[in-house]
Amino acid sequence: MSRVAIAGHGTYGFGSDTNGRSDTEMVLEASMAALESANLSHEEVDSIIYTGQDAYDGSAISDGQRVSAAGGYRKPFMRIQNGGGAAIHQAVAKINSGKADVVSIVAADSVYADPRVLSWTSHEALYHRTIGQNNDQSFGLLATVHQEERGVSDETLAQVAEKNYRAAANNDVAHRQEAYSVEDVLEADRVVGPLTELMLRPNSFGAAVCVLVSESFAEERGNARSWITGTGLATGKYWYRDMSGRLEQPTLQQAASTAFEEADVTIDDVDAAEIAAYSPTLEMTSYEAIGLCAEGESSSLIEDGVTAPNGSFPVNLSGGPLATSPPNAGGIYRAIAASQVIEGDLGDGSAERVLLADNDMHLGEPGRTDAVMVLEGGAA
C-alpha cells in the first residue's frame, strides 16, 4: 500500500461552549489553519469529507451548511455519520484509489442539547428508548461486567481517569485541563454504577480539520507531518445484547489486526496510542484488544504506570475522550493528537510509531464500528 501523509491540521477549541462562534466560523478557522499548516491553498484540495450527525447538529443534512466554510464548493463533498476514524479511513481509500491527491476531513460541534436525551434519541426506539438505554447507562453496564468478571476496583478505574487528566493538563486545547487526582475522580458525583462524572466524558465544542495527501504529493511538496501506513475497519453486532463478549472488543481486535498487517508491524513496534475510550473500562479493555497485554491483565499496566504520560507506552497523551469529547469532531481530533505525538508536540517527542483507535461509541454501544490506523514518522 502507498503511504498517505497527514500534511496539515487545525482545531478550534475545545471547551464547554463555542465562545460565541458559530459552526461556520469555527469550521472556517480550523480549515484555514489546517491548510496553512499543510502549506496548501484551497484550490489544491481535491475532495472534502465531512463527518457529523444530524441529531448533534440540530438540523438535517447539516453538511450542506458547512460546504462553503470547508472550502467544498465545486469539489466532491461527501458525508460520513459514524465517526472521524471511519472518515479518515475513507479518505485514505480515496487517495489510494487514485481519486484524489489532497483530501480535507472536517467536523464541528456547535449546538448544545441535553446529551442524556439526545443519546437515546439516537438509539433503537423499540425496546431501548422506552427503557432508557443511553450512552452513560451503556458504559455503566459494561463497567459492572468488567468489575464482576475481572475484579477491577473503583480505585483502578479512577487511576485511568487520573492519568488522562494528568496528560490533559499539558494540552492547551483540551476541554478539561485540570489535573484531577484519584480522590477527585472517586468523590465526583456518581452517575451510573461505579462511574462518577469524572470517569465519563464531557460534551465538548469546537472544530477539527485534518488534511491528508498522497505519498507522491507529499514527496513533491515535502509537507508530511506523519504517515498513515496501515488502516483497519470493522463493524460488529448489537453488543449490549451479548454481554459476555463485550469486554473482548472483537471489532477493535479485528481492525487493529488489519492495520498492523497492512503496516507490517506488531504492537511491539508501536510506541504510544490515542484511543477513543469513553470510560476507564473501555480504555483498559482496549489495551487487551490491541495486544498490549493479555486478557484481564490491564490493571497491572495502570498500577505500573506503563500507559501514563511518562510511561513506556503512553496512552492518550492528549488526555483522551475523558478530557475532550466533541461528538462529531472527536475522531479527527484524536488523529491530529496522534500526529502531534509523532511530531513531538505531545509527550516527550520520542514516539516513532503511534496507534490511533477510533470508534462510534460516544453514543454508547447500540452497535460498533472501529477504525484503527498506524501512524509513523519520517521525512517526506
User: Quick one: 74 or 241, whose CB is closer to another protein?
Assistant: 241
User: Quick one: 150 or 163, whose CB is closer to another protein?
Assistant: 150
Q: Is 132 in the site for another protein (CB under 8 A)?
A: yes
| Cα dist from 93 to 52, 88, 90, 183, 233, whole Å | 19, 9, 5, 45, 11
CA gap 151, 83 in Å, rounded: 32
Instruction: Give 213-250 as a DSSP string.
Output: EEHHHHHHHT--SEEEEEEEEEEE--GGG-HHHHTT-H
Q: Is 130 in the site for another protein (CB under 8 A)?
A: yes
CB of 174 to another protein, least distance (A): 22
- H/E element holding 51? strand 47-51
CA gap 297, 228 in Å, rounded: 29
User: Quick one: 97 or 130, whose CB is closer to another protein?
Assistant: 130
Number of residues this chain uses to bind another protein (CB under 8 A): 40
Q: Is 64 in the site for another protein (CB under 8 A)?
A: no
One residue of 48, 70, 87, 142 binding another protein per CB under 8 A: 142
Task: Pull the grid cell for residue 380.
Answer: 517526506
Pattern 217-256, binding to another protein, x per CB under 8 A? --------------------xx-xxxxx------------
Q: Are 342 and 379 in contact (CB under 8 A)?
A: no
- H/E element holding 119? helix 115-121
Among the candidate windows 43-51, 131-139, 170-178, 347-355, which touches another protein by CB under 8 A? 131-139
One residue of 193, 202, 206, 331 binding another protein per CB under 8 A: 193
Residue 277 CA from chain centroid, whole number: 8
Residues 7-46 close enough to bind another protein by CB under 8 A: 20
User: Quick one: 126 or 379, whose CB is closer to another protein?
Assistant: 126
Q: Are 166 and 181 in contact (CB under 8 A)?
A: no
Footprint on this chain of another protein (rule: CB under 8 A): 20, 58, 112-114, 116-117, 120, 125-128, 130-134, 136-137, 140-145, 148-149, 189-194, 237-238, 240-244
